[in-house]
């Protein structure tokens, strides 16, 4: 530590800084030790001085009412270390990149004694991060964290990102965050044009979940927020980012792929925000939460149709059918389920199809002709994305206007006036897409001219119940057929 820093700080601050540096060193050692003991490619533990007292704090039992979760996953990711590090050090990007896990993310430069932490000759960087993680269901509380994130280059070509909750540092103000990140993070090394990672999640979280909650087993078995889920989701999003067109029936330019990804990014973020246990209060009002949750969309109030309001009905339910089967059924039937008016009309034409190389992600734009009068007609569009991975698959779609399509493809203007409905499909078991049962979250948005809130609640609840009944009846037919 330089003499300049010593002279800048008073004695009490200097002692706090020493303590903070020791906590960071201990967290770094703890992370590398976990990777080493898991028999990954880490070949030893770092010498960081005498930090045993700090290590013992990390290894202590969680407080009453809390429980510890720890998981490690190694993987190759088709992204350069530099690009991966940029994403991981920019939490504001996380909700768009990983919308089915990250509800909110932000960061700021460290303040107080944190700004004087050892930088190891400018090879170490720090950020204070606020993040909120979720399962896409109203039945599981979100997890909020505030933590110091430290990026450190060790030997050339190897980096480590270490997280540690702010409240480990005794000098920090009392934290309102109930959940804690124990030493967690990502160890990264170069592998050609890609990278190899060791992802470590270690947290203390609230253990209180109702015994009748259908997500109890998924959460208690550490599948809900484990390192493998983070890696699987990240890998899926990287595959999605290099999707290519297999059908193109409308004129577009070279930016079309980026436009389609941005449109569906927006659609996903709206959907996953509204199905969260804690949807944004700036956009959503929860007007009923009895089995089926009903939201009022404040952002859409009178925005398109005077006298109408946009409501969302949503809930989660369990079906004793493999997630892959549920996903395939919903991909085939999604347009019919969401747009029953199509049942007696001409099938909408698929005009754009953007597909990942392994078919795990498919984005489509459908178009149908709607007569306005005897001499004129207009187009209506439906944007849909179907994404398949072992922890959380989804099928989401939204109507989108001709003017918004034109603005997106001509000038790159991405509308936020989307009304996504859809399904998130999670495994009720440890076998991913081949688990014996599925946990499904359904959300449907509709414009209603109901003058009374009670009428809107009843209407949306009936829509959700009817759709769940149809899905369960279809799955029951499948179970009987499979048994024979």
Q: Could you please report the per-residue DSSP string of 301-344?
A: TTSSSTT-EEEEEEEEEEESS-HHHHHHHHHHHHHHHH-GGGGG
Q: Which of 57-71, 79-93, 289-303, 350-364 has the lowest mean pLDDT?
A: 289-303
**How far is it, in rounded angstroms, from Cα 404 to Cα 381?**
10
Residue 33 β-bridge partners: none
Alpha-carbon distance values, 202 to 182, 199, 358 (Å): 5, 10, 32
What does the pLDDT look like over 157-174, one tens digit per residue?
Answer: 999 999 999 988 876 665
In 226-304, DSSP assigns E strands to: 244-248, 284-290, 292-297
Half-sphere exposure of 312 (CA within 13 A, CB side): 33
Q: Is residue 338 a contact partner of residue 444, using CB atoms and an 8 Å limit? A: yes
Percent of the chain beyond pLDDT 90? 69
Residue 112 has pLDDT above 90, yes or no: no
Judge if pTM exceeds 0.85.
Answer: yes
**How far is it, in rounded angstroms, from Cα 73 to Cα 197?**
8
Q: Tell me, what's the pLDDT at 418?
A: 93
Q: Is residue 99 a contact partner of residue 269, using CB atoms and an 8 Å limit? A: yes
Q: What does the DSSP 8-state code read for residue 347?
A: P
Residue 8's pLDDT band (cuts 50, 70, 90): low
**How far is it, in rounded angstroms, from Cα 180 to Cα 144?**
9
Q: Tell me, what's the pLDDT at 318?
A: 96
Residue 118 has pLDDT above 60, yes or no: yes
Residue 370 has pLDDT above 80, yes or no: no
Give every CB contact of residue 397 below 8 A, 6+ residues apart in sequence. 267, 334, 335, 338, 382, 383, 384, 385, 420, 421, 422
Residue 45: CB atoms within 10 Å = 16
Mean per-residue pLDDT of the chain: 89
DSSP string, 44-104: ------S-HHHHHHHTSPPPTTEEEEEEEEEEEESS-HHHHHHHHT-GGGHHHHSTTTEEE
Handedness of CA 10, 15, 17, 18 (dihedral sign): positive
Q: Tell me, what's the pLDDT at 114?
A: 87
What does the pLDDT look like over 136-153, one tens digit per residue?
Answer: 999 999 999 999 999 999
Residue 301's pLDDT band (cuts 50, 70, 90): low
Q: What does the DSSP 8-state code read for residue 264?
A: H
Residue 130: CB atoms within 10 Å = 16
Q: Tell me, what's the pLDDT at 348?
A: 82
Mean pLDDT over 68-79 rounds to 97
Question: Which candidate, 95, 198, 185, places its Cα nearest to that of 148?
Answer: 185
Q: Which of 155-164, 166-175, 235-244, 380-389 has the lowest mean pLDDT?
A: 166-175
Q: Which of 110-119, 221-230, 330-339 has the lowest mean pLDDT?
A: 330-339
Q: Tell me, what's the pLDDT at 178?
A: 84
Provide φ and ψ at 340, rounded to 5°. -60, -20
Residue 237's pLDDT band (cuts 50, 70, 90): very high
> Which H or E element spans position 475?
helix 453-483
Q: Tell me, what's the pLDDT at 307?
A: 64
Residue 182's pLDDT band (cuts 50, 70, 90): very high
Q: Tell me, what's the pLDDT at 223?
A: 93
Alpha-carbon distance values, 137 to 233, 275, 478 (Å): 17, 5, 25
Q: Tell me, what's the pLDDT at 13?
A: 78
Residue 390 β-bridge partners: none
Q: Is residue 324 a contact partner of residue 391, using CB atoms and an 8 Å limit? A: no
Residue 416 has pLDDT above 90, yes or no: no
Residue 334's pLDDT band (cuts 50, 70, 90): low
**How far is it, in rounded angstroms, from Cα 218 to Cα 445?**
27
Is 103 buried (19+), middle (13-18) or exposed (0-12) by CB count in 10 A?
A: buried
SS3 229: helix
């Amino acid at each position: 530590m330089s003499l300049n820093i010593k002279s800048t700080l008073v004695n009490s601050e200097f002692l706090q800084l020493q303590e903070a540096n020791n906590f960071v060193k201990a967290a770094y050692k703890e992370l590398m030790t976990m990777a080493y003991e898991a028999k990954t490619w880490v070949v030893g533990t770092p010498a960081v001085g005498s930090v045993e007292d700090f290590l013992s704090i990390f290894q202590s039992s969680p407080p009453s009412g809390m429980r510890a979760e720890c998981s490690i996953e190694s993987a190759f990711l088709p992204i350069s270390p530099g690009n991966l590090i940029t994403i991981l050090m920019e939490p504001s990007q996380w909700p768009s990149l990983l919308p089915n896990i990250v509800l909110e993310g932000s960061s700021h430069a460290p303040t107080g004694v944190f700004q004087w932490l050892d930088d190891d000759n400018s090879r170490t960087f720090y950020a204070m991060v606020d993040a909120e993680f979720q399962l896409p269901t109203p039945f599981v509380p979100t997890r909020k964290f505030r933590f110091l994130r430290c990026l450190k280059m060790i030997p050339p070509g190897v980096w480590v990102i270490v997280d540690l909750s702010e409240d480990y540092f005794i000098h920090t103000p009392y934290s309102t965050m109930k959940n804690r990140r124990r030493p967690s993070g990502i160890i990264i090394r170069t592998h050609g044009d890609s990278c190899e990672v060791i992802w470590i999640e270690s947290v203390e979280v609230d253990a209180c979940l109702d015994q009748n909650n259908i997500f109890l087993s998924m959460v208690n078995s550490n599948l809900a927020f484990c390192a493998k889920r983070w890696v699987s989701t990240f890998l899926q999003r990287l595959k999605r980012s290099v999707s290519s067109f297999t059908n193109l029936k409308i004129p577009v330019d070279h930016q079309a792929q980026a436009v389609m990804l941005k449109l569906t990014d927006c659609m996903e973020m709206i959907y996953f925000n509204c199905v969260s246990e804690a949807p944004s209060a700036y956009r959503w009002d929860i007007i009923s939460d009895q089995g089926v949750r009903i939201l009022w969309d404040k952002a859409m109030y009178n925005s398109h149709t005077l006298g109408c309001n946009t409501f969302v009905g949503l809930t989660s339910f369990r079906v004793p059918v493999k997630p892959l089967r549920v996903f395939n059924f919903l991909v085939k039937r999604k347009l019919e389920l969401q747009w029953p008016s199509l049942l007696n009309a001409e099938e909408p034409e698929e005009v754009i199809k953007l597909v990942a190389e392994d078919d795990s992600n498919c984005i489509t734009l459908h178009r149908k002709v709607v007569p306005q009068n005897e001499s004129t007609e207009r187009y209506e569009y439906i944007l849909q994305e179907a994404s398949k991975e072992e922890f959380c698959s989804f099928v989401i779609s939204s109507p989108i206007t001709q003017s918004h399509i034109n603005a997106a493809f001509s000038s790159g203007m991405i509308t936020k006036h989307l009304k996504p409905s859809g399904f998130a499909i999670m495994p009720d078991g440890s076998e991913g897409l081949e688990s014996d049962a599925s946990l499904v979250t359904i959300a449907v948005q509709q414009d209603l001219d109901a003058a009374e809130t009670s009428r809107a609640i009843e209407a949306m609840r009936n829509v959700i119940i009817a759709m769940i009944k149809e899905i369960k009846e279809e799955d029951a037919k499948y179970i009987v057929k499979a048994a024979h």
